[in-house]
Amino acid sequence: MRAAANARGGIMTHIEHRKDTLHVESVAVEAIAEAVGTPCYVYSHARLVENVRRFEAAFAAVDHLTCYSVKANPNLAIVAAVTREGLGCDVVSSGELERALRAGARPERIVFSGAGKTDDEIDAALHHGIRMLNAESRGELERIDRVATRRGVRAPVSVRINPDVDAKTHRYVTTGLRENKFGIDADEALDVYTWAHTRPGLAITGVDCHIGSNIRSLEPFAEAMRRMRTFIETVRGRGIPIDHCDIGGGLGIPYDRSPLPSIEDYARTVVDALDPAGSGVQLLLEPGRILVGDIGMLVCRVLYVKRHGERTFVIVDGAMNDFMRPCLYEAHHEIVPVTRRGADAVVVDVVGPVCETTDFFALDRAIELPHRGDRLAVLDAGAYGFGLASNFNSRPRAPEVLVRNGDYTVVRARESFEDLVRGERIPDFLT
């Protein structure tokens, strides 16, 4: 794990091999896996807190509010750890809103994003008195206006602008191009702002954008910020006050260990291009992956090593239902032995037991050849890992474990068969 340790340039990783066995903080991953079974997610609390503090330090010079994007890792313990550091939450459903509140987020630090809010979700947001709703279409603003009027309140809203910049990331996680479903074009948005300003149920408070996820260069952010700055001036020119600019999330992490812009580079770029102080806006940030992506791993056990013509398959007990990023986004994740054997590397496919060809964690990957029963760790699985898990193939979802101070807590239990069939019923006519 030398390479991984070095990727953060001297910063403690809290996840590394000691002698030959992988540790999270000072706890051996073998011991956790032995106790809770595999597959399981293991996260480092220290690493999470360090990421949050580093992010906050990078933006300390500007008036800002960081709202953790709950969808990246929605576990209550993770959300609680983040809100304890003073962060707010960015939520995209009433389920996430409930999670944020239950985990201790203050309503005035919660923003509600997402392209299709239901009336019930809008009502819940207003009921709890959250900071604002990010609206993504005129139709949605009309609904918010109506629901707020019915409640006799004015809903604080921002409108998500689609700045039409190419985030140069995987096409499934690009959101800021005109052809994407997200936000409103800047030209059209001006009319929407002018209209919304006259509505009794709406209180316009700011502007919003989010150009994509796992972005690996700074130029798309700089370009988006320049466009947002111009847009803010234009809206104010119409006599509409704007008090914040929400710039979404999207900063990538070095999954394959190639160098990427740091949090500090990102902060500098955003602040230079947007000039929040000069523009008189509070900066709102919605980071997800950059805070939780590298806090942990999915631990699996090798079931079989199978040779098939030229290929070698390592079949593990974790599968695409546990961790979808490789099959969904063709994502690269480092895979390391939990305990090294010191054997030579061979090229293998690491695959799961699910009946789909897309059920892989790595293809053509050189790793030390494991034996049956060995454990492997799929690294950097803290973001969009458990949150995307499903019960496909009637597989119970994996437990999640949080390590802190030489100890660990199971922060989500492994699902049981009863969990799998909860709510299902065989109707009388079939019994």
Rule CB under 6 A: say whether 90 interacts with ligand PLP. yes
Among 47-55, 67-75, 101-109, 401-409, the segment contacting ligand PLP (CB under 6 A): 67-75
Among 71, 109, 143, 365, indicate the residue that binds ligand PLP (CB under 6 A): 71
CB of 119 to ligand PLP, least distance (A): 20
55 versus 231: smaller Cβ distance to ligand PLP:
55
Backbone angles phi, psi at 198, to 5 degrees: -90, -5
Among 51, 75, 113, 137, indicate the residue that binds ligand PLP (CB under 6 A): 113
305 versus 328: smaller Cβ distance to ligand PLP:
328
List the alpha helices (DSSP H) in 114-159.
Answer: 119-128, 138-151
197 versus 216: smaller Cβ distance to ligand PLP:
216
The CA–CA distances, whole Å, from 11 to 5, 23, 47 equal 8, 16, 10
Q: How far does the chain reach from its first CA to its final CA, in angstroms?
A: 56
Active site residue 355: yes
Segment holding 36, helix H or strand E = helix 29-36
Rule CB under 6 A: say whether 248 interacts with ligand PLP. yes
The answer to whether the beta carbons of residues 52 and 87 sit under 8 Å apart is yes
288 versus 337: smaller Cβ distance to ligand PLP:
288
Rule CB under 6 A: say whether 69 interacts with ligand PLP. yes
CB of 150 to ligand PLP, least distance (A): 26
CB of 113 to ligand PLP, least distance (A): 4
Other CB atoms within 10 Å distance of the CB of residue 40: 26
78 versus 290: smaller Cβ distance to ligand PLP:
290
Got the DSSP string for 54-78? HHHHHTTTS-EEEEEEGGG---HHH
Distance CA 57, CA 120 (A): 37
Rule CB under 6 A: say whether 72 interacts with ligand PLP. yes
The answer to whether the beta carbons of residues 395 and 356 sit under 8 Å apart is no
CB of 305 to ligand PLP, least distance (A): 35
Rule CB under 6 A: say whether 99 interacts with ligand PLP. no
Per DSSP, the three-state class of 307 is strand
The CA–CA distances, whole Å, from 127 to 65, 90, 100, 237, 260 equal 22, 17, 15, 32, 41
CB of 263 to ligand PLP, least distance (A): 11
Distance CA 107, CA 88 (A): 8
CB of 286 to ligand PLP, least distance (A): 4
Lookup: tokens for 192: 């929407």
Q: Which of 361, 376, 401 is nearest to 300 (CA)?
A: 376
221 versus 408: smaller Cβ distance to ligand PLP:
221
Site for ligand PLP in 350-389 (CB under 6 A): 383
Among 287, 318, 370, 382, indicate the residue that binds ligand PLP (CB under 6 A): 287
Q: Residue 222: left if φ>0, alpha if ψ -120 to 50, beta else—which one?
A: alpha
Among 7-15, 259-267, 280-288, 319-327, the segment contacting ligand PLP (CB under 6 A): 280-288
The half-sphere exposure of 189 on its side-chain side, counting CA atoms within 13 A, is 30
Site for ligand PLP in 20-49 (CB under 6 A): none
Site for ligand PLP in 205-244 (CB under 6 A): 210, 213-214
CB of 114 to ligand PLP, least distance (A): 7
Could you say which DSSP state residue 385 is in? S
Among 220, 249, 261, 399, indicate the residue that binds ligand PLP (CB under 6 A): 249
Active site residues: 355
Residues of the shown chain interacting with ligand PLP in the complex, contacts defined by CB under 6 A? 69, 71-72, 90, 113, 210, 213-214, 248-250, 286-290, 383
